[in-house]
Chains A and B, each alone.
Chain A
Amino acid sequence: MTKDKAAPASGSILVVGGGISGLTTALEAAEVGYEVFLIEKNSYLGGRVSQLNQYFPKLCPPTCGLEINFRRIKDNPRIKVLTLAEVESVEGEPGNYEATIKLSPRYVNENCTCCGECADACETEILNQFNFGMDKTKAAYLPHEMAFPARYIISSVIKGTEDEKRCKDACKYDAIDFSEEPKSISLKVGSVVWATGWEPYDATKIDNLGFGRYKNIITNMMLERLAAPNGPTKGKILRPSDEAEPESIAFVQCAGSRDENHLPYCSYICCMASLKHATYIRERYPDAKVYIYYIDIRSPGYKYEKFYKKIKDDKNVIFIKGKVAEVEENINNGNITVIAENTITGEKTKQVVDMVVLATGMQPTLANAKPDAALKFNDDGFILNDYKKGGMFGAGCANKPADVVSSNQNATGIALKAIQTLVKR
Chain B
Amino acid sequence: MSVEYLVEPDLDFINQVVGLGGDSLKKCFQCATCSVVCPISPENKPFPRKEMIAASWGLKDKLVGNMDIWLCHNCGDCSTLCPRGANPGDVLGAIRSYAISEYATPKKLAQAVNDPKKLPLLIGIPAIIFFVLALITTMFGDNLTALLGELWTHGVDKNIIAHTNFISTWFVDLVFVPLSIWCTVIFALGLKRFLADMYIDAVTQGKVQNPELNIKELLKSVPIVLLRIIKHEKFNECGENQERTTAHMMVLFSFISLLMVTGIFFFVLYLFHIPGPYHQYNPVKILANIAGISLIIGSALLIKNRLAQKDQVSAYKDWYLIGLVLGLGLTGMATEMARLAGSASVCYFTYYIHLIFVFNLIAFLPFSKMAHFVYRTIAMIYAEYAQRQ
Contacts and interface: CB of A to CB of B under 8 A. Distances in A.
B32 A323 contact: yes
Contacts of A339: 36
Contacts of B82: 260
A339 B46 CA distance: 12
A237 B253 CA distance: 59
Contacts of B41: 348
Contacts of B32: 322-323, 325, 340-341, 343
Nearest to A350: B43
B29 interface: yes
B31 interface: yes
Contacts of A343: 30, 32, 49
Contact of A325 (B1, B36, B43, B50): B36
B85 to A, nearest CB: 5
B345 interface: no
A333 interface: no
Name the prevailing secondary structure of the A interface residues: loop
A233 to B, nearest CB: 32
Interface residues of A, number: 22
Contact of B37 (A254, A322, A326, A346): A326
Interface string B45-61: 11001100000000000
A240 to B, nearest CB: 25
Which of A258, A261, A325, A343 has the largest number of chain B CB atoms within 10 A?
A325
Nearest to A253: B31
A179 interface: no
B85 A254 contact: no
Interface string A345-363: 1111000000000000000
Nearest to A338: B36
Contact of B49 (A208, A258, A326, A341): A341
A337 to B, nearest CB: 12
B31 A208 contact: no
A348 B31 contact: no
A323 B31 contact: yes
A295 B30 contact: yes
A260 B85 contact: yes
A259 B82 CA distance: 8
Nearest to A263: B83
Given A208-B37, A260-B83, 4 more contacts: A325-B33, A341-B35, A341-B49, A348-B43
Contacts of A262: 83
Contact of B84 (A260, A344, A347): A260
Interface in A256-271: 258-262
A254 B81 CA distance: 13
Which of B32, B49, B50 has the largest number of chain A CB atoms within 10 A?
B32
Interface string B5-38: 0000000000000000000000001111111110
Interface in A230-288: 254, 258-262
